[in-house]
Amino acid sequence: MERVSVQGVPGSGKSTVGRAIAARLGLPYTELDALHHGPNWSEPTAEEFVAVVTPIAAQERWVIDGRYHGKLGDLVIARADTVVWLDLPIRVWLPRLTWRSLRRLLLREELWNGNREQVRMLFVRPNLFRWAWDKHFADRTFVPEWVAAYPHVRLVRLHSRREVRRFLASLGR
């Protein structure tokens, strides 16, 4: 594995798993959320975002967490050799997402570029929880078909915390 795309809904552990893969394999790690969310939650246009991500995806070795398919299209997966899909049950990711969001909100934790969780993002439409819920079900069709369109890409679909631990352990240190 030289170029790994990590996929999953919010709360599934993309960043944690992405950093662990990068550390175990000695690969540079990029979190797309950190590149996408500018100060005051500003967002780049698709053209601006592609311009930022293209040189990262062009590198020979990386771990990139996140998709942003609407803006990046297949830019990342076209270069990936592996997609790690954290397809965890709702009973795992929803409590994680809830506690993470509440902790960030209450402690005023900085996320990216000075941004912090805001109540409106959690409960007002469109909200993080609804988006994650919808994405969880949409990914059942989207991710396998998306990866199948790239025969050179290996799909690693992880269904449980145990499978995640075993997968990471298989990578060594």
pLDDT tens by residue, 51-100: 999 999 999 999 999 999 999 999 999 999 999 999 999 999 999 999 99
Please state the rounded mean pLDDT for residues 5-31: 97
Mean pLDDT of all residues in the chain? 93
User: pLDDT by residue (tens digit) across 99-127?
Assistant: 998 898 889 888 888 888 877 766 665 68
For residue 93, give both structure tokens: 């990711």
Q: What is the pLDDT of residue 126?
A: 67
16 pLDDT above the threshold of 90: yes
Q: Which residue range is the domain that position 137 belongs to?
A: 3-170
How far CA 51 is from CA of 30, 77, 106, 129, 168, in Å, comes to 15, 16, 35, 29, 31
Mean pLDDT value of segment 44-54: 97
The percentage of residues in the chain with a pLDDT greater than 90, rounded to a whole number, is 77
The reported pLDDT for the residue numbered 71 is 96
Q: pTM to 2 decimals? A: 0.92
Per-residue confidence (pLDDT) for residue 122, from 0 to 100: 66
Predicted confidence at residue 59, as pLDDT, reads: 98
Cβ neighbours of 39 (radius 10 Å): 9
Sign of CA dihedral 118, 127, 38, 30: positive
Of 58-62, 78-82, 129-133, 156-160, the range with the lowest mean pLDDT is 129-133
DSSP string, 66-95: ---HHHHTTHHHHH-SEEEEE---HHHHHH
Q: Which of 36-40, 47-51, 82-86 has the lowest mean pLDDT?
A: 36-40
CB of 85 within 8 A of CB of 143? yes
What is the count of structural domains for the chain? 1
For residue 143, the domain's CATH number is 3.40.50.300
| pLDDT computed for residue 165 by the predictor | 97
Q: Which pLDDT does position 125 carry in this prediction?
A: 55
Mean pLDDT, to the nearest integer, of 3-9? 97
